[in-house]
Structure 1
């Protein structure tokens, strides 16, 4: 736990970013995959078939294709990030998601100490997505894959979960709850000992047997209050004039959460409180 990361006394809700904060049908993962394949072709001199094959082999072996590139090839990380992650036209694809925002505002902060993003992407991608979908001011922190620190600590490696706990200021695994669209990451979380896991299961994705202890299945992130009702406050009742009871400055229950790129919490470059500097598209 870093000095400026307050200890989490209650539950820390760790949430994946890509294909989780927004739906997979947005096509971001496909665009990311195309850019990674193009990078393999242009920088490694491979044809399309062999580039795709190596991309997926590295992804399966290391959890993120970049890890394989760093291990086996001499690449420029700045160039990779510029040509892949930062080149995605997210501002044309993603928009403010009011239902998502309202759901996060309903978290019972007497039970949930922190809402923490946990991604295999780099910090710049993570903060772009959070801002575009309109939840950046509700997030208490971000754990991202630091492309400049090798070996890479990314999901599903145990080191990634250890890093997330340290940055979020939580030492008790029973207080770690996790949402992700990757069956591999959910299984890794369960094996690591995190208490509760919500698998955002898309059609055609790998199955996790129904009834697996500590794992629930959802089809959309907004299903969380249905499967974990104890973490959320009741939906606010709208008055006849359309306003909502029990809100202050747009937040439910009169609470104001951390702010990315601001004060009162938010995300530092190291994933802790302050301003942000930083699933799971094909990585």
Structure 2
């Protein structure tokens, strides 16, 4: 295994931090105040966009002509320091992993920079890949996975995807990547080779797999 691709939100930090709750509020406000969607229709439309397009942004682009950069700047304009703190344990564990490490997120690189800076792990990662890597096409659609593998020149069979979303692991597995789901109290779904309760368990599991291959 030569490379590990980590999702960002609710993967590199606990979902209990509820950082996405802040983004969630901004998405609803954007849809109502900027796009002009009636407040009572926002929740139903978001569900529709998730089912149809994978993320709210793509639905707004396709059905309302929304400027993606305007949306991304608005919804990620949150104070990450209100929910996140440095994680020295995670830093030590990432530093000890010999594999190349990347962040692969449906958010923005700017948001990722703020989150990783707050966690104190930014320099543990070689590069960040955001929703722009494949023209705003989100996970779990296939093109962004192909794009990050192409950009890093890593073969799928030599890569690992770490995610909090089982759906986002499906394309990774189909391409030949190994997969780890970060989810508390979850049974292992067919998309995942393993399930861990915390990202802190990932390095030890990867080391175990490496020993088996040796």
The normalised TM-score by structure 1 is 0.69
Note the alpha carbon deviations across 1:5-42, whole angstroms, 9 max, x for none.
xxxxx511010000011111111111111111111111
Looking at both structures, which has the greater relative contact order when contacts are Cα pairs under 8 Å and sequence separation is at least 6?
1
Please point out which of 157, 160, 163 is paired with 2:144. Answer: 160
Structure with a larger share of its residues in helix: 2
- Which ranges of structure 2 fall in alignment gaps of 5 or more residues? none
Give, in angstroms, the shift of residue 52 of structure 1: 1.1
Aligned mates of 2:127, 2:70 — CA distance in 1? 26
Note the alpha carbon deviations across 1:66-97, whole angstroms, 9 max, x for none.
11111111223343223211x11112221211
What SS does the corresponding residue of 1:52 show, helix, strand or coil? helix
Aligned residues: 211
Question: Could you tell me which residue of structure 1 aligns to residue 85 of structure 2?
Answer: 95
Give, in angstroms, the shift of residue 232 of structure 1: 8.2
- 1:79–1:173 distance in 2 versus 1, CA, 3 Å: closer
Give, in angstroms, the shift of residue 208 of structure 1: 4.1
1:139 aligns with 2:117: no
- Which ranges of structure 1 fall in alignment gaps of 5 or more residues? 1-9, 234-283
Q: 2:183 touches 2:195 (CA, 8 Å); kept in 1?
A: yes
Q: CA RMSD in A?
A: 2.2
Question: Could you tell me which residue of structure 2 aligns to residue 50 of structure 1?
Answer: 41
- 1:54–1:213 distance in 2 versus 1, CA, 3 Å: closer
Q: 1:96 touches 1:132 (CA, 8 Å); kept in 2?
A: yes
Instruction: Compare CA radii of gyration and give the structure with the larger one.
Output: 1
What SS does the corresponding residue of 1:146 show, helix, strand or coil? helix
- 1:61–1:217 distance in 2 versus 1, CA, 3 Å: same
Please point out which of 10, 15, 18 is paired with 1:27. Answer: 18
Question: Could you tell me which residue of structure 1 aligns to residue 171 of structure 2?
Answer: 188
